[in-house]
Amino acid sequence: MAQPRILILGAPGAGKGTQSAKISEAFDVEHVTTGDALRANKDMDISEMDTEYDTPREYMDQGELVPDEVVNAIVDEALTQADGFVLDGYPRNLEQAEELEDMTDLDVVLSLDVSEEELVHRLTGRRMDPETGDIYHLEYNPPEDPEVEARLEQRDDDTEETVRERLRVYRENTEPVIEHYDDEGVLERVDGEQAPNEVWADVKATIEDAV
Ligand code: ADP
Ligand code: ADP
């Protein structure tokens, strides 16, 4: 069988990156994430695209969405090259969902459900290992290796103020995307508020059932 094409949805901090890393390894699919792709290209010149700002950085640091034109191109290119994928961070509005429909079919659409209070706590405590890209949390998932601990970094947009704005943008733009897949009857909801291993057990079982 061809490799599965998996979409993982959920609010900022719901655990998409954490679960996508596991999915990518267990199902041997590529992790396509617009957040990482944009962070690697924060100062890319997008001034020719008739956008409000000249680089993705201004949008990201304020917690706003980067214009669709920029993000659609990144995803289109990545999916064309992938044989099976877990897509994380896209689509974030209904226009992007429509674009995605033209790009590919999906085998599984998952959403991780987590309460807003918990999301704020997860995001403000999130730390990244710049060398491996691994995701940690100061309280929930601290690294064991002191060398890793010493080099952890906080994302520029994981401050309380920007987190609140990102959650507002999520409610306004991205919740309708989840409703859209729910209305189509293809959405599989997973309780994302459980411990990481319990979330993983549910995610894995859901994918295995669907493919
Ligand atoms: P997203 O990609 O959806 O923004 P992440 O996977 O980066 O979310 O997780 C956000 C933060 O929450 C990270 O610090 C991560 O270590 C932590 N985290 C992820 N899943 C869980 C979980 N099930 N329980 C507690 N903390 C979690
Ligand atoms: P999180 O999962 O914690 O919300 P991401 O790493 O997915 O964060 O995204 C970080 C930022 O990158 C977003 O706040 C937004 O500015 C930009 N971004 C990521 N994906 C998209 C997208 N599909 N459309 C527009 N902007 C995006």
- Residue 138 included in any domain: yes
What are the phi and psi torsion angles at 41 (to 5°)?
-130, 35
Q: What is the number of domains present in the chain?
A: 1
- Residue 60 included in any domain: no
Residues with Cβ within 8 Å of 77's Cβ and at least 6 positions away in sequence, in order, are none
13, 89, 169, 48 alpha-carbon torsion, rounded to 10°:
140
- Residue 77 included in any domain: no
CA distances from 179 to 14, 101, 166, 171 (A): 17, 15, 19, 11
- Residue 63 included in any domain: no
pLDDT tens digits, one per residue of 78-128: 999 999 999 999 999 999 999 999 999 999 999 999 999 999 999 999 999
As given in the structure block, the two tokens for residue 140 are: 């929930």
pLDDT tens digits, one per residue of 12-44: 999 999 999 999 999 999 999 999 999 999 999
As given in the structure block, the two tokens for residue 166 are: 């990102």
- Residue 53 included in any domain: no
6 CB within 6 A, ligand 1: no
Q: Which ligand is nearest to the CA of 9?
A: 1
Mean pLDDT confidence for 161-182: 97
- Residues that are catalytic: 16, 92, 126, 155, 166
Helix H segments across the chain?
16-27, 34-39, 56-62, 68-81, 94-103, 116-124, 146-151, 160-169, 175-183, 196-210
pTM of the model: 0.96
Q: How far is the CA of 59 from the centre of ligand 2 (A)?
A: 9
Quick one: pLDDT at residue 65? 97
pLDDT confidence tier of residue 1, bands split at 50, 70 and 90: low
Mean pLDDT confidence for 159-184: 97
